[in-house]
Amino acid sequence: MVSVSICCLFSLVSIAQNKKSDHAVIAKDSLTQALTRFSQQSLIPGFSVAIVSDKEVLYSKGFGMADIKKGIPFSPESINWVASISKTFVALSILKLVEQGKLNLDQPINQILPYSIVNPHFRNTPITVRHLVTHTSSIIDDAFVPYYIGEADICIVNDSKQYDSLPAYLQPNLAYYRMGKKISLDEHIQKYTQPKASWYTDSTFLNKEPGKYFQYSNLGAAIAARIVEIKSGLSFIDFTKKYIFQPLEMKQTGWNFEDIDAKLVSKIYAQNDEQKPTSVVEHPQYYMTNYPVSGLKTNAIDISKYLIEMIRGANGQGKLLKQSSYQILFKPQLNCDGLNKTDSSIFNGKFNIATLWSVSAKGTVLHFGGNTGVYSFIYFNPKTKKGALAIANLRDNSFGEILSLVNKYEESF
């Protein structure tokens, strides 16, 4: 009787597992069909999607084109920018230095930097590292200043006369990029923050006391990346390679185009018309002098490894940081003005801020990225131990549908 009972039990378990597997297959097929339909209807030329658990990649697929002219499909291997998702790598780097005893989150940045950065409206209030990584430094982005004086903090990579025919609305951007030159991260920061520097203006600082008001800041995150360099003695490129990319075997991830396989790099695109777009045009690749906050190039395969590590880290099983460090990385830290405290949607990126990660009202940890030629998202739920990401080669409002579809089916995987 015992052997029969055990046999029956095994049969029931097997049936349950088969049903679960069948359900997952149906969910994956349904998601693929839905994303294929979206790809056929959207202006976005190409994108990739991945869904992961804390153990493995559950789904990974590309849609559309990485290069329209050459007919190269967009696949999980296709490399593109991830824009502001880059900031999460700054956050992890800062926590790594804290873990190593080289940095304190509440340390004033003017004790670290070789020059002073002071909010002219609150000269006696120090800006701390924590302020930088929670977007409460009172330092904001006034990127138009370089343009007004004939300079730029962005420059074109491999310029070509073909871009002279870009639509009229893109011509000012093109002219701006062509004014730029590649400068160091430190020079970028000094130009914006030092009173006698060419890009300095009081409007780079809010009339809000540091630590008392949330406002998203690229410049603040760039300063955090520079602090990583100063405290580690390594360039930010080398630091992230040593402590993130190599341990996770992210072999097609880098900050410079020369660090990745050129054959895998997707073209980037812009709409042919600003008001009523009907198609897309190829846009030149560019380099941002504040590269740590928006310039990471990677693919769905590599960043899936990163996302799996983030899920494991949130559950005390990560290998890049200690459990206590991961707890700080993902813990919501703010209770101040500037936050949207009423929206309880899953993907409300402004509900609260951890360490350069957003945390929604329902506990989803996430970050979005957007820039010319890219839209991206990455998110995970620490409780379900699942997450997802997507990378697209056009900044288009329809991208939100990818997020909706992925989240809808991800729960069934």
> For the chain, which ranges sit under pLDDT 70?
1-21, 143, 337-351
pLDDT at 349: 46
Residue 24 covered by a domain = no
pTM for this one?
A: 0.92
Cα-Cα end-to-end distance for the chain:
37
314: its two tokens:
């949130």
Cβ atoms 90, 96 nearer than 8 A: no
Give residue 12's Cα distance to chain centre: 44
pLDDT at 340: 61
Residue 6 covered by a domain = no
pLDDT at 362: 84
pLDDT at 131: 97
Residue 94 covered by a domain = yes
Edge-first strand listing for the sheet containing 352-353: 72-73, 57-67, 46-53, 386-392, 374-381, 365-371, 358-359, 352-353
Residue 405 covered by a domain = yes
pLDDT at 145: 77
Residue 176 covered by a domain = yes
Cβ atoms 42, 401 nearer than 8 A: yes
Give residue 182's Cα distance to chain centre: 22
CATH code for position 59: 3.40.710.10
222: its two tokens:
């760039």
| Strands 268-271, 358-359: pairing kind | unpaired
Measured on CA atoms in the order 397, 398, 401, 402, is the torsion positive or negative?
Answer: negative
pLDDT at 14: 56
- β-partners of residue 297 are 81, 254
Residue 145 covered by a domain = yes
Tens of pLDDT, residues 64-106 = 999 999 999 999 999 999 999 999 999 999 999 999 999 999 9
Residue 241 covered by a domain = yes
Give the number of domains in the chain.
Answer: 1
Residue 15 covered by a domain = no
Give residue 95's Cα distance to chain centre: 17
pLDDT at 4: 52
Cβ atoms 217, 287 nearer than 8 A: no
Neighbours of 374 (CB within 10 A): 25
pLDDT at 96: 98
Give residue 151's Cα distance to chain centre: 26
Can you give the residue range of the structural domain that contains 381? 30-410
